[in-house]
Each structure stands twice: as structure tokens, then as C-alpha cells.
């Protein structure tokens, strides 16, 4: 028997806009960040700093708008953590997917992300993003620390730089994992297409054909 599918409108227009703009800005910041640290020379040190800073401010504005959107639309509920099903998802990603087993979770309008994705996105939103946000702002406004009374905290520019680079690498690892996981649908492009069109084909458990 083969499982029939149905099309669901999973990702709304703003959600897709936010996702792709955030991706472009993060990639720009990664590329310019490595150049600022002297890994290579691509567009020049000064221009790399300008692109990095403007991208950072744009990303902060985007995050603020997106937080407001999540709260006012109730979309934040899709990111609330849940422990049920986490282990099944881990087993699927590490074993089942390579054996051709059916995924234990399929997105719906009530739950867009599986339990493991929820935990990953939650760690990104409440840990990695605030970490790189605040360390970046502290680094940017280093000359104003005395005016802001931050010198009493005993922080040094080197400490902030290390934290900022660490946060950047954590986000980069998240991005690499994310790029891999979008290829784990029924087809390699299934999840990518859903983030472009908003629609995704999911199993219809009420209908099966011989």
C-alpha cells in the first residue's frame, strides 16, 4: 500500500521573507567576519567591517520585527519545547533515515517543527542569538564603555571578542546542520521548496491506495 499525500500551507509569507533575509544577512556576516579576522582578503578590511556592521544592524531590526510577529500572531507556539518524541527523532536522524524508515514526525498547521527542531531553534533564539547580539554591541561600542558604566564589570575587549567569535561559530554550526536537515525530506528539495512556496506535501493518514 502507498501513502497518499495532501498539501498544507505551512509557512506564511512573512515567515519565508524573514527566513531568507536572515539567511542572507548571516552568510554576509560570516564571510565578512572571517575577512575581518584575516582569514582571507576578499573585499578589503574596511569594506568588510562596514558590510558586517550594516548587516548586523539590519539583522537586529529583523529580529525585533520577527519577535513582534511571533508574539502577535501566536506563531511562537511552534517553538515551545517538548520532550515527547525527541528520542524517536534522534534515532531517526542517526539511523532510521539511512534505512529508509518513515519519519516519526510530519509538519502540520498545528506543529511545524519536530521536537528536536523545537529544541534546536529554542537554543538559537534564547542563547546563540542573544550571545552574539550583546557581544557584538559591546564590541561595537567599546569606546563608550566608560560613559555607559560598563568598565565596572571588569570586561576586556579580548574577552568580548572571544565570546563573539564563539557565538558566531555556534551559529555557523547550526547553519551547517540546518542545511543538512533540509535535504532529509521525501526528496532532497522537499523542505527547500516549502520554504519558497509555503506549501508542503505531507502524508494523509486517512487515505491509502493499493
Q: Where are the domains of the chain?
A: 2-209
Residue among 19, 23, 21, 45 nearest 32 (CA):
45
The number of angstroms, rounded, from the C-alpha of 26 to the middle of its chain's C-alpha atoms is 9
Burial class for 10, CB neighbours closer than 10 Å (0-12, 13-18, 19+): buried
pLDDT tens sequence for the chain (210 residues): 455 777 888 889 999 999 999 999 999 999 999 999 888 898 999 999 999 999 999 999 999 999 999 999 998 888 888 888 888 888 888 888 887 788 888 777 788 888 888 888 888 888 888 899 889 998 888 888 888 888 888 888 888 889 999 999 999 898 888 888 888 777 777 778 888 998 887 776 554 444
Cα distance between residue 81 and residue 146, in whole Å? 40
Cα distance between residue 30 and residue 183, in whole Å? 22
In a 13 Å sphere around the CA of 20, the CA atoms on its Cβ side amount to 13
Residue count of the chain, please give it: 210
Q: Give pLDDT, residue 66.
A: 92
9 backbone dihedrals φ, ψ, rounded to 5°: -85, 100
CATH number of 2-209: 1.20.950.20
Residue 176's alpha-carbon distances to 111, 152, 193, in angstroms, are 23, 38, 18
Q: Give pLDDT, residue 208.
A: 45
Q: Give pLDDT, residue 49.
A: 93
Q: Give pLDDT, residue 20.
A: 94
Please report which residue ranges of the chain form alpha helices under DSSP H: 13-36, 45-73, 86-94, 115-123, 129-140, 145-148, 157-181, 190-197
Q: Give pLDDT, residue 29.
A: 93
Amino acid at each position: 500500500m502507498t501513502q497518499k499525500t495532501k498539501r498544507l500551507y505551512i509557512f506564511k509569507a512573512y515567515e519565508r521573507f524573514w527566513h531568507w533575509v536572515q539567511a542572507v544577512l548571516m552568510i554576509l556576516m560570516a564571510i565578512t567576519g572571517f575577512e575581518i579576522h584575516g582569514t582571507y582578503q576578499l573585499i578589503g578590511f574596511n569594506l568588510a567591517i562596514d558590510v558586517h556592521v550594516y548587516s548586523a544592524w539590519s539583522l537586529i531590526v529583523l529580529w525585533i520585527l520577527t519577535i513582534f510577529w511571533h508574539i502577535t500572531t501566536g506563531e511562537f507556539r511552534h517553538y515551545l519545547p517538548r520532550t515527547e518524541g525527541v528520542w524517536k527523532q534522534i534515532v531517526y536522524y542517526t539511523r532510521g533515515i539511512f534505512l529508509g524508515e518513515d519519519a516519526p514526525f510530519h509538519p502540520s498547521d498545528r506543529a511545524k517543527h519536530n521536537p528536536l527542531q523545537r529544541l534546536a531553534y529554542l537554543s538559537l533564539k534564547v542563547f546563540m542569538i542573544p550571545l552574539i547580539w550583546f557581544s557584538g554591541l559591546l564590541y561595537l561600542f567599546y569606546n563608550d564603555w566608560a560613559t555607559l558604566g560598563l568598565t565596572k564589570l571588569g570586561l576586556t575587549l579580548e574577552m568580548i571578542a572571544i565570546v563573539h567569535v564563539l557565538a558566531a561559530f555556534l551559529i555557523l554550526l547550526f547553519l551547517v546542520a540546518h542545511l543538512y536537515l533540509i535535504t532529509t525530506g521525501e526528496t532532497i528539495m522537499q523542505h527547500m521548496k516549502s520554504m519558497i512556496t509555503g506549501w508542503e506535501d505531507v502524508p494523509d493518514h486517512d487515505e491509502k491506495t493499493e
